[in-house]
Amino acid sequence: MTDPNSKQNLNDKQKKQLDYLLADFVSVKGEISRRSTLQWFILAGYFSALTLVFQQVAASKLSGLWVTATWAVSAFAYQFYAREFLEIARLSRLIGDHIAPVVSNILSVPREEVLPSESGIHDTKCQRRLGYATTFNWAAFFGVPLLITLLLAHLWYNQHGCSLRGVTGLVDVSSITQAVISLVCAVRVCVLLGRHPI
């Protein structure tokens, strides 16, 4: 156990260094909080966009353009969401790997006692949280756009049937462009979800 008066036993240089480290810690924690809030805004914006698309579905006004927009919004939203997560993780490591050891050394206490919030959590809880997050992300950023795509296919099939004339009626530059953009965005979402399972 450490002496509660240990800070009083520090020299002026150590006290000044602790003040700078505290300011750095507060700054980094503030940036983590800002980026976390930004993640919530990204999710809110994404789900607002999905609400708009589902309104089109309810009104039977779903078109290929809405499907393309859904995939594009999904790809961009997850890209920013994952970027913020990676930056939050980097900032947390900055605290745990660069600030905590110096403070620990100055105060002669273990790192876990200096910054308990940065000491990590039990492995099984972390694995469970990652499992839930991965499931949510796949469902929200891939499953929902896929559902909207299938709804459009269902609506189109109900209107045109499976005739060759109905299929060739769709083949124009706009439809091909929408299909290609949707496919590229869907692949991008899969790559991002596979590479950065948050």
pLDDT in tens, 47-86: 999 999 888 877 877 788 888 999 999 999 999 999 999 9
Residues 166-189, mean pLDDT to the nearest whole number = 78
**Residue 1: which pLDDT band, with cuts at 50, 70 and 90?**
very low
pLDDT in tens, 116-157: 776 655 566 777 888 898 999 999 999 999 999 888 887 777
**Residue 2: which pLDDT band, with cuts at 50, 70 and 90?**
very low
First to last CA, the chain: 37
More confident residue, 122 or 41: 41
Q: What global pTM score does this model have?
A: 0.78
Residues 20-46, mean pLDDT to the nearest whole number = 94
Q: Which of 176, 152, 159, 136 has its CA nearest to residue 53?
A: 152
Are residues 197 and 134 in contact, defined by beta-carbon separation less than 8 angstroms?
Answer: yes
Q: At what angle do helices 64-94 and 144-160 cross, to 10 degrees?
A: 170
Average pLDDT over the chain, rounded to an integer: 83
Res 160 pLDDT > 70 = no
